[in-house]
Amino acid sequence: MTDQMYHVALASRPSGAPTAENFRYEARPMPVPGENEVLVRVHYMSLDPYMRGRMDDAKSYAKPVEIGATMEAGAVGEVIASNSPAFKPGDFAFGMFGWATHGCLKANLLRKVDPTQVPITTSLGVLGMPGFTGWFGLTELGKPKAGETLVVAAATGPVGSMVGQVAKSLGLRAVGVAGGADKCRLAVETFGFDACLDHRAYATAADLRQALAAECPDGVDIYFENVGGKVLSAVVPLMNNFGRIPICGMISWYNAGGLGAGASDPDITAPALWRNILVKFLSVNGFIISNHFDRFPAFMAQVAPKVASGEIAYVEDVAEGLENAPAAFMALLKGGNMGKQIVKVI
Amino acid sequence: MTDQMYHVALASRPSGAPTAENFRYEARPMPVPGENEVLVRVHYMSLDPYMRGRMDDAKSYAKPVEIGATMEAGAVGEVIASNSPAFKPGDFAFGMFGWATHGCLKANLLRKVDPTQVPITTSLGVLGMPGFTGWFGLTELGKPKAGETLVVAAATGPVGSMVGQVAKSLGLRAVGVAGGADKCRLAVETFGFDACLDHRAYATAADLRQALAAECPDGVDIYFENVGGKVLSAVVPLMNNFGRIPICGMISWYNAGGLGAGASDPDITAPALWRNILVKFLSVNGFIISNHFDRFPAFMAQVAPKVASGEIAYVEDVAEGLENAPAAFMALLKGGNMGKQIVKVI
């Protein structure tokens, strides 16, 4: 075991879209596990849109990453040293190790991952936080009913693809939105969406709305919100009475000047949004999956066997090398990935 | 019985705030009750902010009033002819008779009003649609818990004053917002609010927010939304995690150019609103009380005795004469009334 590891630190806060200068790849001393701590050599690390929010110092549901500190991430790897009876070297564990080659955490902050049923990468996507987010948000907050129509954007991402597949399994019509013809094909052919629209093919929210209306002849009952912006603006006027909008993200606005009261959007205004909620009796619920970890065992019990059997599909996009994580992350925020974005660390 | 009655018709659609030219007071033939119909001579008619929405032809939860048709309103009066065994002359009944001296409706569209327990005017306010709206929205959608903090605007109106009084009875801190020092005094002294802020005393949403923050030292758990605009913008950043926002109206935006996607507000943007819902896990629910009439008996059973005993207070502002209804309505939209606005028709 060497006495050095590597991590990616937040070098500076971005204004707008992050750039390479906001990140710093550097060596740091290898941690030594203390009491009840476990040292893990990271194999795969997750990249997720929420990390953009951690780079700002705006008040949010989570603290910002400090300048100079390790960028936050969930990751999975092999235990190489353990001072906990719960883990032994050779075990695989998921934890919030950050953008780093190694991580050292208390055992109670780790989740053991069984590498024999499904690949360990699934703990980052389809069977990790994103898949759980899609499953929980749709089933608990979306209140889906057979015959209804659902719209979700980023339809080939790990959240959207779970939402679409669960919706289909419950008898809903599932219409996706994604960026590019390849993603739309993937959404329909691999994830079973009834239709998927390429938002890049529509210059305005009104154009996208018209195309969505054609694919949603009975209106939209559930809009699973993970992007905001043009898609939100397109969908909201199509919502049916008593529709539900679970909100787990708004990636299109993440670079919008910190999203303070000053940030605006050309497509939709606050009064228009509010009016739609009022006159259609919508139920809009923001959530973060970390408030609902009590439901994780139920999620795994229900979904893991379907992933193992292939009934639930997943697609991963793997970047090679921790030093390339910033570039992969910047691409992710622009929709450059296809499926769940992962970084292979070793 | 004469062969003429009077009504106020919608003469033209307003752009922005309604003006006298949008209304036409005129005679029309007295209706003759058909099978199962009841003819009522209206004593009191209700004026409510929602009527502004009916004057536009934008898609909403209710159809717009047609040009030339009677303006919509709930009203209460005395039965003067009946072809239904359920009503006899001399009975009092509430119905959607419109801005009119008389109304003729099927008996199943009327609600009998007992004039012996409380004044019949209460059927328009504290024990009518507005009071029911406040009670239902707070107790069902606001999910109030003792010790929490509630904010409601139009605090001396028939909705806000019910919300505040129910909140206090459940052990919440109730902070009102109203227009003018007189209303604020009424909110505290008559309706028991812990505090009430005069939004006219604060030039900006940020100023109002600062004053609200001082009155809500533990943040805001429930914002009962009936106004939108500056108050919404002031309150949203003060919301606590897992806060609830029932929306029953947005009067400050009702004149905002039809509230289409083009209407904007200088104080708050769609991204800022959406971000607050997301990062604070808010639950935002639009509703209209007409979808929940199944709960009206429960409301009456719980609240009517408290109104009769004086435990729940109400204040009415009575304009004289149907011909003055347009002026009273225009004043209402500017906050010129004190308490529930009613028109004495005879």
* Alpha-carbon torsion angle A287, B280, A247, A343, nearest 10: -70
Task: List CB contacts (< 8 A) between A273 and chain B.
Answer: 270, 273-274
Contacts of A143 by beta carbon, 8 Å cutoff, 6+ apart: A222, A244
Interface touch B278/A237, C-beta < 8 Å: no
Q: Where are the beta strands (DSSP E) in chain A?
A: 4-10, 23-29, 37-46, 75-82, 92-95, 102-106, 111-113, 149-153, 173-178, 195-198, 220-224, 239-247, 283-286, 316-320, 340-344
Per-residue model confidence as pLDDT tens digits over A284-326? 999 999 999 999 999 999 999 999 999 999 999 999 999 999 9
A269: burial class by Cβ within 10 Å (0-12, 13-18, 19+)? buried
Mean pLDDT of A153-158: 95
Between CA A199 and CA A230 the distance in angstroms is 8
Q: Does pLDDT of A258 surpass 60?
A: no
The DSSP symbol for B292 reads G
Helix axes A296-309, A129-136, angle to 10 degrees: 110
Name the B residues in 223-252 with CB < 8 Å from any A CB: 225, 228, 232-233, 237, 241, 247-250
Between CA B316 and CA B339 the distance in angstroms is 5
Interface touch B250/A278, C-beta < 8 Å: yes
**Residue A153 sits at the chain B interface (C-beta within 8 Å):** no
A88: burial class by Cβ within 10 Å (0-12, 13-18, 19+)? exposed
pLDDT score at B267: 77
Nearest CB to B247: which of A250, A267, A277? Answer: A277
Per-residue model confidence as pLDDT tens digits over A129-140? 999 999 999 999
Between CA A328 and CA A333 the distance in angstroms is 9
pLDDT score at B251: 78
In 3D space, the residue among A175, A195, A172 whose CA is nearest the CA of residue A185 turns out to be: A195
Complete domains list, chain B, with CATH: 4-121+314-344 (3.90.180.10), 129-289 (3.40.50.720)
The DSSP symbol for A104 reads E
User: Least CA distance to B205: which residue of chain A?
Assistant: A261
Per-residue model confidence as pLDDT tens digits over A25-57? 999 999 999 999 999 999 999 999 889 989 998
- H-helix or E-strand containing B197? strand B195-198
**Rama region for B263: left / alpha / beta (φ>0; ψ in -120 to 50; rest):** beta
Between CA A67 and CA B311 the distance in angstroms is 57
The DSSP symbol for B281 reads T
Reported ipTM exceeds the 0.90 cut: no
Per-residue model confidence as pLDDT tens digits over B289-298? 999 999 999 9
pLDDT score at B255: 62
pLDDT score at A259: 39
pLDDT score at B30: 96
Between CA B202 and CA A220 the distance in angstroms is 40
3-state SS of A242-262 is: EEEEEECCCHHHCCCHHHCCC
pLDDT score at B215: 98
Angle value at C-alpha A64, between A63 and A66, nearest 5 degrees = 120
Helix axes B158-169, B129-136, angle to 10 degrees: 40
CA B19 to each of CA A26, B52, B147, B222, B254: distance values in angstroms, whole numbers, following the listed order: 69, 11, 44, 35, 14
**How would residue B262 be classed by pLDDT, with cut points 50, 70 and 90?**
very low
Per-residue model confidence as pLDDT tens digits over B195-230? 999 999 999 999 999 999 999 999 999 999 999 989
**How would residue A256 be classed by pLDDT, with cut points 50, 70 and 90?**
low
**In this structure, are residues A326 and A11 in contact, taking their beta carbons and an 8 Å threshold?**
no
Lowest mean pLDDT among A243-257, B2-16, B101-115: A243-257
pLDDT score at B269: 86
**In this structure, are residues B210 and B230 in contact, taking their beta carbons and an 8 Å threshold?**
no
Task: List CB contacts (< 8 A) between A291 and chain B.
Answer: 281
How many other C-beta atoms are found inside a 10 Å radius of the C-beta of residue A317? 20
Q: Does pLDDT of B149 surpass 80?
A: yes
Interface touch B274/A247, C-beta < 8 Å: yes
**In this structure, are residues B325 and B342 in contact, taking their beta carbons and an 8 Å threshold?**
no
Nearest CB to A274: which of B59, B250, B271? Answer: B250
Per-residue model confidence as pLDDT tens digits over A89-106? 999 999 999 999 999 999
Percent of chain B with pLDDT over 90: 87
Q: Does pLDDT of B257 surpass 60?
A: no
**In this structure, are residues B97 and B62 in contact, taking their beta carbons and an 8 Å threshold?**
no
Residue B314: phi and psi, rounded to 5, are -150, 155
Interface touch A281/B269, C-beta < 8 Å: no
Task: List CB contacts (< 8 A) between B159 and chain A.
Answer: none
Q: Does pLDDT of A58 surpass 90?
A: no
Mean pLDDT of B267-274: 87
Between CA A165 and CA A170 the distance in angstroms is 9
Nearest CB to A247: which of B269, B277, B287? Answer: B277
In the beta sheet, which residues pair with residue B34?
A: none
First to last CA, chain B: 14
Nearest CB to A285: which of B233, B283, B286? Answer: B283
Interface touch B284/A280, C-beta < 8 Å: no
Between CA B235 and CA B212 the distance in angstroms is 8
**How would residue A1 be classed by pLDDT, with cut points 50, 70 and 90?**
low
Mean pLDDT of A169-195: 97
Lowest mean pLDDT among A279-288, A291-300, B245-254: B245-254
- H-helix or E-strand containing B285? strand B283-286
- Take residue A143 and report the two structure tokens written for it: 């209140």
Task: List CB contacts (< 8 A) between A57 and chain B.
Answer: none
Between CA A100 and CA B43 the distance in angstroms is 76
Interface touch A61/B256, C-beta < 8 Å: no
**How would residue A63 be classed by pLDDT, with cut points 50, 70 and 90?**
confident
Q: Which residue in the block uniquely carries the two structure tokens 């801005």?
A: B99
Between CA B226 and CA B240 the distance in angstroms is 19
pLDDT score at B258: 41
User: Cα dihedral sign for B263, B269, B270, B271?
Assistant: positive
Average per-residue pLDDT in chain A? 94
Between CA B155 and CA A234 the distance in angstroms is 35
The CA R_g of chain A, rounded to the nearest whole Å, is 20
**Residue A61 sits at the chain B interface (C-beta within 8 Å):** yes
Per-residue model confidence as pLDDT tens digits over B37-79? 999 999 999 999 889 989 998 766 678 999 999 999 999 999 9
